[in-house]
Structure 1
Amino acid sequence: MVPLGEHAGFIESERLQSRLHDLVPGGAHTYARGSDQYPEGMAPVLVRGAGAKVWDADGNCYVEYGMGLRSVTLGHAYEPVLAAVRAALADGLSFSRPTDLEVSAAEDFLRHVPGAEMVKFAKNSSDATSAAVRLARAATGRDLVAIGDQPFYSTADWFIGTVAMNAGVPAAVRELTLRFRYNDLDSLRALFERHDRQVACVVMEPATATAEPEPGYLESVRALCDEQGTVLVFDETITGFRWGMGGAQTLYGVTPDLSCWGKGMGNGFPVSALAGRRELMELGGLRADRPRVFLLSTTHGPDRVSLTAFRAVVRAYEEEDPIAVMEERGRALAEGVNAAAAELGVRDHVAAVGRPSCLVFTAADHEGRPSQAYRTLFIQELLRRGVLGQSFVVSAAHTTGDVAHTVEAVREALVVYGKALDAGGVTGFLKGRPVAPALRSTAEPRQLR
């Protein structure tokens, strides 16, 4: 194996990635994991992970960030979760009737999300958000959906129709989803004025890596929804188990009607949830007097492995404080990265920003404009020094040593970055084409050649 910080190249990763492109559209099962999100010829294909480190097919070792697309909060191969899952495997995985584990898992969840009265489990949060939209439409008899201008909510047509990569989504479906600006109450108020009592639900993240709610904002959104008879849905896919165990809603003290969960719930095991007020959730049950909603019905949603993993994650959060660890490591990382950038005179171009447990990095060109080319150069230089990530999103498994290694790798990468700034461009420094937006409308500018 290649020691951390040294590099053997990407020969085997490139071979496997080429084969993936022959077998899997896009060469990955998630667009954010695509090779077009990394420098050309430098997209590691991973073979294992432990803690906050991963190894690729060429034996290179990296400190990884944004682990499992932010779903791994306790670390790769976290033993207490694995031990619980191993024990569960001996009893079988999936049956023709519910299991006692579904009772225990639901009780665990609802104990930590006090605003929710019922919960239904699934496998990915796209299904949960889509179920929330369907439920809100049934409850209100309305068709329109208002979404915050935040990156991603679902793979379903009601959301994908709003992004550039929307081929195959009927125009009639696209027109039913409307956008408003986060932290801009007037934009939501104006939307309601244009579509008075026609909006079924407001779907939004209560916060993002770089945008905390301004004082009173979430409370005002709650009040506007109440005035309009509109269902308020918080997408806690990222904020849940990262902002707080009970989500951002418990941190900010604003209770939605419905909330959607995923990612950190299972520390990488596939589990998601839709939770909310009983009177809404029961529309998908057997107590409703109204036409029933097809809420969530999944073969694998309640499998014993994922629900066991979820319960083990809950125990870890109850017995330890992984969120505090993530906040501490994130603060140390941001301070180290930003100090190195200031020391090298590039602080206006590269910075670690955002909530400490969910850091991202900026990348600006020689004129101070956000730049995909310079971002790619930064990722390239970090990869060469044993750091893998499209962000600096930490886990509780990141050690002080991992942070120190990352800061040193950033320092060295910024020397190259500074030379490119002085040269007025990345030519001669960047290998291949820059990364491109994952949800763009065409394969270009990273079409395979």
Structure 2
Amino acid sequence: MDTEEFQLPRSQAANERLHAMIPGGAHTYAKGDDQYPENLAPVISHGRGAHVWDVDGNRYIEYGSGLRSVSLGHAHPRVIEAVRRELDRGSNFVRPSIVEADAAERFLATVPTAEMVKFAKNGSDATTAAVRLARAATGRPRVAICGDQPFFSVDDWFIGSTPMSAGIPAATTELTVSFPYGDLAATEELLTRYQDEIACLILEPAGHTEPPPGYLAGLRELADRHGCVLVFDEMITGFRWSEAGAQSLYGVVPDLSTFGKALGNGFAVSALAGRRELMERGGQRHSDDRVFLLSTTHGAETHSLAAAMAVQSTYVEEGITAQLHALGARLAAGVSDAAAGMGVGDHVVVRGRASNLVFATLDEKGQPSQQYRTLFLRRLLAGGVLAPSFVVSSALSDTDIEHTVDVVAQACAVYRKALDAGDPTPWLGGRPVKPVFRRRA
């Protein structure tokens, strides 16, 4: 067993402070210290580019930055400059700022498949607004979610379908049904079973696998035939697949779509976009019942909208999506080669689109293992790589990727020892990492 010890005493103390005041010790469950090896959850001091520093003074190459939101790297100069220009001009007023018009024009030019847009601060508000709009437009109560995809909203209509459903009435949960990704026949059966009851189909247009040929077009046809609204959750696919979204890449236009994460490069901004006929129901220029669509005090903070405009300009002018794909492809090839070289190519597996890579850690039987994930994460952290996923940012350098691959190779050498021993426990250093969605703490 490797006896090298990597410790984070200041981060450990900071985590205790966080738990004493903040339920879960973080403001996002996916950032919780239960997602990391015991006593090895770094608390971040600051970041620049593709690197972050923890309060213990360690520097890491960071992947999955800001849960995929910081795709240009931390403190990106063009974004920070745009934000600074607005900070001295005030951030929130009693009437709309002209920045709101500028930001809407910029967004609709970037995502030309949408006709109107409304901004908010987080993805959950945008997806819930889409669901409410679909229910209002169709007069139907049920929501059909893609059950193979992990997250759509913090709100009851989705969280009630997860193991963390405490506090959500059964009457609400019963209105959410699910369909499997890639299976048009099963989706049609669901729509037929709940004929004239389903308001919308909501899904990420792509995930760890590409959509089967004709699948998204088939969903479009099903939604039209059954009179329901098609909603694409583009929180992840937006910008990483194309700055115009996966809807542009695959040539299938939803009725509504939601964007966030990469849109602000870490600043809080999200968007609900879609067909004018639907979106205007949340406005004033129609004769139907009014829909309380999105109305947030901070939804149009000028500096966040300025950040979004700078992000979009940077993506378009510098070809950022292509850069993300190239960096991810290089990383995926290096990690796969390193794993194969250490004899664990069937156990440490890189998956997903090059711009949105995740990794699987499989046990002796080829099954997903939280224990082996813990072992792997420990070795990455000790080598200066903070990687709950392998989602790249455009700030990564060739040197960063080379170092990551070297650290992965060292981790895979330990992984091989654990597989040979038939038990990873001696290399865990404590309890294994835990899944986010679980019924008990």
Which of 217, 220, 239 lines up with 1:219 in the alignment? 217
2:112 is the counterpart of 1:114: yes
2:403 matched to which residue of 1? Answer: 405
1:138 matched to which residue of 2? Answer: 136
Q: Which range moved further: 156-165 or 8-17? A: 8-17
Q: Which range moved further: 7-16 or 293-302? A: 7-16
Q: Give SS of 2:237's match.
A: coil
Q: Which amino acid aligns with 1:198?
A: E
State the distance in 2 between where 1:201 and 1:134 align. 10
Conserved in 1, the CA contact under 8 Å of 2:123 and 2:270?
A: yes
2:80 matched to which residue of 1? Answer: 82
1:30 matched to which residue of 2? Answer: 28
2:159 matched to which residue of 1? Answer: 160
1:151 matched to which residue of 2? Answer: 150
Q: Which range moved further: 319-328 or 121-130? A: 319-328
2:59 matched to which residue of 1? Answer: 61
State the distance in 2 between where 1:37 and 1:333 align. 23
Which of 257, 271, 274 lines up with 1:259 in the alignment? 257
2:428 is the counterpart of 1:441: no
Conserved in 1, the CA contact under 8 Å of 2:68 and 2:391?
A: yes
Conserved in 2, the CA contact under 8 Å of 1:7 and 1:60?
A: no
Q: Give SS of 2:350's match.
A: strand
2:378 matched to which residue of 1? Answer: 380
Conserved in 1, the CA contact under 8 Å of 2:282 and 2:290?
A: yes
1:172 matched to which residue of 2? Answer: 171
1:119-130 to 2 correspondences below 5 Å: 119-130=117-128
State the distance in 1 between where 2:313 and 2:109 align. 12
After the TM superposition, which segments of 4 or more aligned residues of structure 1 sit over 6 Å from their partners? none
State the distance in 2 between where 1:318 and 1:34 align. 34
Structure 1 residue runs of 5 or longer lacking an equivalent are: 1-5, 444-449
Q: Which amino acid aligns with 1:161?
A: G
Which of 247, 265, 280 lines up with 2:278 in the alignment? 280
Deviation of residue 193 (structure 1)?
1.4
Q: Which amino acid aligns with 2:430?
A: G
Structure-2-length-normalised TM-score: 0.98
Conserved in 1, the CA contact under 8 Å of 2:7 and 2:39?
A: no
Task: Deviation per CA, 1:124-177: give whole Å up to 9, x if none.
Answer: 010000000000000000000001121100000000000000100000000000
Q: Which range moved further: 36-45 or 312-321? A: 312-321
2:290 is the counterpart of 1:292: yes
Q: Give SS of 1:292's match.
A: coil
1:34-49 to 2 correspondences below 5 Å: 34-49=32-47
2:314 matched to which residue of 1? Answer: 316
Task: Deviation per CA, 1:301-333: give whole Å up to 9, x if none.
Answer: 001010000011111112101111111111111
Q: Give SS of 1:441's match.
A: coil
Q: Give SS of 1:410's match.
A: helix
Deviation of residue 413 (structure 1)?
0.4
2:194 is the counterpart of 1:189: no
Deviation of residue 7 (structure 1)?
8.8
Which of 319, 343, 346 lines up with 1:345 in the alignment? 343
State the distance in 1 between where 2:108 and 2:194 align. 34
Q: Which amino acid aligns with 1:140?
A: T
Deviation of residue 187 (structure 1)?
1.4
Deviation of residue 343 (structure 1)?
1.1
State the distance in 2 between where 1:318 and 1:133 align. 30
State the distance in 2 between where 1:321 and 1:259 align. 23
Deviation of residue 8 (structure 1)?
6.5
Q: Which amino acid aligns with 1:199?
A: I
Q: Which amino acid aligns with 2:79?
A: V
2:48 is the counterpart of 1:50: yes
State the distance in 2 between where 1:398 and 1:69 align. 16
Q: Which amino acid aligns with 1:167?
A: A
1:447 matched to which residue of 2? Answer: none
State the distance in 1 between where 2:412 and 2:327 align. 21
Q: Give SS of 1:299's match.
A: coil
2:244 is the counterpart of 1:240: no
Conserved in 2, the CA contact under 8 Å of 1:249 and 1:255?
A: yes
State the distance in 2 between where 1:217 and 1:241 align. 21
1:90-109 to 2 correspondences below 5 Å: 90-109=88-107
Aligned residues: CA RMSD:
1.0
1:201 matched to which residue of 2? Answer: 200
Identity rate of aligned residues, in percent?
58
State the distance in 2 between where 1:179 and 1:441 align. 20
Deviation of residue 391 (structure 1)?
0.5
Conserved in 2, the CA contact under 8 Å of 1:125 and 1:154?
A: yes
Q: Give SS of 2:334's match.
A: helix
Q: Give SS of 1:348's match.
A: coil
Q: 1:37 to 1:8 in 2, by over 3 A?
A: closer
Q: Aligned residues, how many?
A: 437
Q: Give SS of 2:238's match.
A: coil
Q: Which amino acid aligns with 1:83?
A: E
Q: Which amino acid aligns with 1:204?
A: L
Q: Give SS of 1:428's match.
A: helix
Q: Give SS of 1:241's match.
A: helix
Task: Deviation per CA, 1:83-135: give whole Å up to 9, x if none.
Answer: 11111111111000001111110001111212211000000010000000000
